């Protein structure tokens, strides 16, 4: 299995944010998708993908519909996607994806977390190059033969296809998302969920004490309402 498989296994074993946090994250994704392409999922591929993810997270349908309706209102603030980069203790690179309606607040909060936990907030481009930006799709088990599917989708940039307990996972470079989504839909293959991740090219093994230092910072960052995703180069146990 490749790096995407190992990365996913590590992420699954790691604690994911609570359900309320997941719903908040999806709610922001809905607002950004509607502001960008309108409230009709049939003509808005980004919104279509977010709705699939909401369903996969067991977000109630009425919550999704309410979020779409709210996003169409003029006085609803849009969110700006901002990337933060820095280092945790022991040389661990951290990449933080945020969606914020107040960048000054987010910058101040993120900086304070690094300062309190002996880390350092970096400049743009300081660690982003250490991660591969990829897209992923999850489809039902049995939807296709793994080897055949990988061969047929190779022209769309697919790099890895594997099966786990949640279904069949398809990984490709970030820029392949649109073409892959279109191809899977054209084949009438149900997309259970989709998204983007940043996989570290190299990870670093730490002692239990050092891991605790890094986890302290990660937990503070992940608890922030403006934070959507956090990636790091610490080796997952």
* Nearest Cα residue to 215 out of 138, 101, 118, 77: 118
Sign of the alpha-carbon dihedral angle for 132, 137, 138, 139: negative
Contact 181, 137 (CB under 8 A): yes
CATH number of the structural domain spanning residue 8: 1.10.10.200
Residue 19 lies inside a defined structural domain of this protein: yes
**The model's pTM:** 0.85
- Report the alpha-carbon distance of residue 232 to residue 203 in Å, rounded: 8
Compute the distance between CA of residue 55 and CA of residue 230 in angstroms, rounded to an integer: 22
Residue 229 pLDDT: 92
Say if 233 falls within a structural domain: no
Residue 27 lies in a domain: yes
Domain with 40, as residue range(s), is: 3-72
**φ, ψ (nearest 5 deg) of residue 46:** -65, -45
Tokens 């300062």, residue located = 115
Domain assignment present for 84: no
Number of domains in the chain: 1
Crossing angle (nearest 10°) for helices 61-72 and 45-56: 150
Helix (H, G, I), strand (E, B) or coil at 99: strand
Which of 135-163 are b and which e, b meaning 16 or more Cβ less than 10 Å from the residue's Cβ?
bbbbbeeebbeeeebbeebeebbbbbbee
- In a domain, residue 39? The reply is yes
- Rounded CA gap, 142 and 190, in Å? 11
Domain for residue 56, yes or no?
yes
Asked whether residue 225 is assigned to any structural domain, the reply reads no
Residue with tokens 């997270």: 57
H or E segment at 88? strand 80-88
Question: What is the model's pLDDT at position 64?
Answer: 93
Dist CA 179 CA 191 (whole Å): 14
Give CA 206 to chain center in angstroms: 24
pLDDT per residue of the chain (237 residues) written in tens, 0 to 9: 566 666 655 554 444 445 567 888 899 999 999 999 999 999 999 999 999 999 988 899 999 999 999 999 888 888 999 999 999 999 999 999 999 999 999 999 999 999 999 999 999 999 999 999 999 999 999 888 888 988 999 988 999 999 988 899 999 999 999 999 999 999 999 999 999 999 999 999 999 999 999 999 999 999 999 999 999 999 986
With left for phi above 0 and alpha for psi between -120 and 50, is residue 80 left, alpha or beta? beta
* Assigned token pair, 72: 């169409």
* Domain presence at residue 85: no
């Amino acid at each position: 299995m490749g790096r995407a498989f190992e990365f996913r296994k590590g992420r699954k074993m790691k604690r994911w944010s609570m359900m309320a946090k997941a719903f908040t994250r999806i709610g922001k994704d809905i607002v950004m998708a509607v502001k960008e392409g309108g409230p009709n999922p049939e003509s808005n591929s980004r919104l279509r993908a977010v709705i699939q993810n909401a369903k996969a997270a067991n977000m109630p349908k009425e919550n999704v519909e309410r979020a779409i309706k709210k996003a169409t209102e003029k006085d609803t603030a849009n969110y700006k996607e901002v990337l933060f980069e820095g280092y945790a203790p022991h040389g661990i690179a951290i990449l933080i994806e945020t969606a914020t309606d107040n960048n000054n607040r987010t910058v101040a909060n993120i900086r304070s977390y690094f300062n309190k936990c002996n880390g350092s907030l970096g400049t743009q481009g300081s660690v982003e190059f250490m991660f591969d930006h990829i897209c992923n799709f999850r489809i039902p088990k049995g939807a296709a033969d793994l080897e055949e599917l990988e061969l047929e989708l190779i022209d769309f940039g697919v790099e890895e296809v594997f099966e786990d307990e949640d279904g069949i996972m398809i990984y490709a470079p970030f820029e392949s998302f649109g073409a892959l989504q279109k191809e899977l839909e054209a084949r009438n293959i149900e997309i259970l969920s989709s998204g983007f991740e940043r996989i570290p090219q190299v990870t670093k093994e730490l002692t239990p004490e050092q891991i605790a230092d890094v986890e302290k910072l990660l937990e503070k960052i992940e608890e922030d309402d403006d934070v959507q995703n956090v990636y790091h180069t610490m080796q997952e146990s």
